[in-house]
Amino acid sequence: MSLPESPFSCLCLQFLFSLSSALLFPSYWFIDRLLSCAVFTSIERFHRPGLRFLCLVLGVPLFLLLFILSLPLGFFGFLFWAPLQKLRRPFSYQNSVKTCDVPEKILEGDCSFIFISANLCLLPDGLARFSNLHHTQRRSLAISRLLCSPSEPAQNNCEDKVPMCSTEDVLPMIEIPYKIKRDASAEGDMPFEVSTVFPQNADFVCLQEVFDGRASRKLRHCLGSTFPHILYDIGPSGPHGCGFRFFRSGLFLASRHPFMAAKYYFYPNARGEDALASKGLLCVKVYIGMTKQKQKIVGYINCTHLHAPESDAVIRCDQMSLLLQWVLDFQSQYSEDGDLVVFDVLCGDLNFDNCSTDDCMEQKHQLFSVYKDPCRDSAGQDRRGTVGTLLRWDCLYHEAINTPASLKRTLDSEAERRLYVAPPLPEGIDGSGAHWTGRRIDYILYRESDSLLSLAVNKFQFITQLAGLSDHVPVSMHFSISLPGGSSPVNNDTTIPH
């Protein structure tokens, strides 16, 4: 059942890879510092002119010189690092619990699960500044602590105090208890919630844009005690096909439940800045437990980050078509007779929303006839109570959104959302009819099928605890499954319709 932890087949290759990475690190760090001295966040541009001057006059020449001096060492490391990428598995696995030490879980009745999905923008510091975020290492440490201790107050170290624009009264949130079912009643309202803290006892955390290696280590160190099973460093890097990938996929999956199988699929059609990273789809089969009748209970998790440039709708649609085929291939390959499949979830940053007219192609894709989006009524229309998850990059340090409490107040008010949440595309088009959502590009979707147990969504949350630490609002889905009481095996046909 367990996956190999090292991405290499032998310790010798692992040692060579670690050595070559260490030789490359000085060049990587100096060029990152050089960019950090040349690119400024809104705080630094408008509130720290003296620091800007020192960085440009002293920092840029210093780090440029150090980078040039480090190049021979970096080149020597690259000679080993690049060919080793061809021998590396496309992910690493951190397993904090040995299988033999874990008692067998016998499950019956109702089971509940909590998924979290978040884009953290943990790029190297110099590149994160293009999204108006800085101090990647500090942010990664703060985010790690918040994910481990959801009730802990956020420390975002924001110093920009920009006056809020005048707004209208806060609109009340819809609080209607509702469970999604596989019938016509599923078109009603459901309980959406804007929460200032992450849910406690989450089962799975799917993260995007964990590109920086040191930030990934901080996340693994902190999350390891709560989530013993972590997949990281996902995707290839270095020479790949006809190009060169400077970054892996940025995907990061933490789980309380052990992984039975995992596979990474690489999107071949990226272009522009997205061609610098090896974005793709991570498919994972997780082990949940056993029924009293010794039937294995499993689930499927699919994590992705689609193409980012707004004008490339065709590329995103092609990636979604590939995604559906790959999910089918993975589940066909790793399904076993007698498996009781309790969920099939797709989560990640899809880089389009359900209210922009520019995103109409993606909104009507077949993906939404296979996977259900609990936040949308139909293509182009979100449910009332949903909010956008992409914040305006130039407003990240405004006092209206730089703390969890103030961001919650802003998201709860439609008038203030219009000021601080990224608008539908093209700008000037309201979208979503009378209810203004903004760009909701972070998704948790689930599949409904006669071959799966009935799933009831109990709550969907938009979480503000990372205010000032990311330009995205994390999302969380709480759902429950009723396990069958009889001993008859459940149909294990996981076929996804074409």
Instruction: Name residue 5's beta-bridge partners.
Output: none
Of 62, 166, 97, 240, the closest CA to residue 400 belongs to 166
Q: From the candidates 305, 365, 435, 472, which is the catalytic residue?
A: 472
Sign (positive or negative) of CA dihedral 152, 156, 157, 160: negative
Sign (positive or negative) of CA dihedral 121, 127, 128, 134: positive
Could you give the CA distance from residue 494 to residue 478 in angstroms, rounded to a whole number?
A: 23
Could you give the CA distance from residue 357 to residue 423 in angstroms, rounded to a whole number?
A: 11
CA dist 163 to 141, 243, 396, Å?
Answer: 29, 46, 13
**CB–CB of 8/87 below 8 Å?**
yes
**CB–CB of 302/329 below 8 Å?**
no
Active site residue 472: yes
How far, in whole angstroms, is CA 444 from its chain's centroid? Answer: 10
For strand 252-255 and strand 229-232, is the pairing parallel, antiparallel, or unpaired? antiparallel
Could you give the CA distance from residue 14 to residue 202 in angstroms, rounded to a whole number?
A: 32
The residues near 134 (Cβ < 8 Å, ≥ 6 apart) are 36, 41, 43, 44, 125, 128
How far, in whole angstroms, is CA 20 from its chain's centroid? Answer: 29
- C-alpha dihedral (182, 184, 185, 188), degrees to nearest 10: 110
Angle at 139 between CA 136 and CA 141, to 5 degrees: 110
Could you give the CA distance from residue 330 to residue 319 in angstroms, rounded to a whole number?
A: 16
Could you give the CA distance from residue 348 to residue 302 in angstroms, rounded to a whole number?
A: 9
**CB–CB of 394/42 below 8 Å?**
yes
Sign (positive or negative) of CA dihedral 121, 22, 281, 187: negative
Could you give the CA distance from residue 301 to residue 343 in angstroms, rounded to a whole number?
A: 8
Which position has the token pair 């789809």?
A: 281
Of 486, 461, 467, 468, the closest CA to residue 199 belongs to 461
How far, in whole angstroms, is CA 378 from its chain's centroid? Answer: 24
For strand 192-195 and strand 455-463, is the pairing parallel, antiparallel, or unpaired? parallel
Secondary structure of residue 156 in the 3-state scheme? coil
Catalytic residues: 472
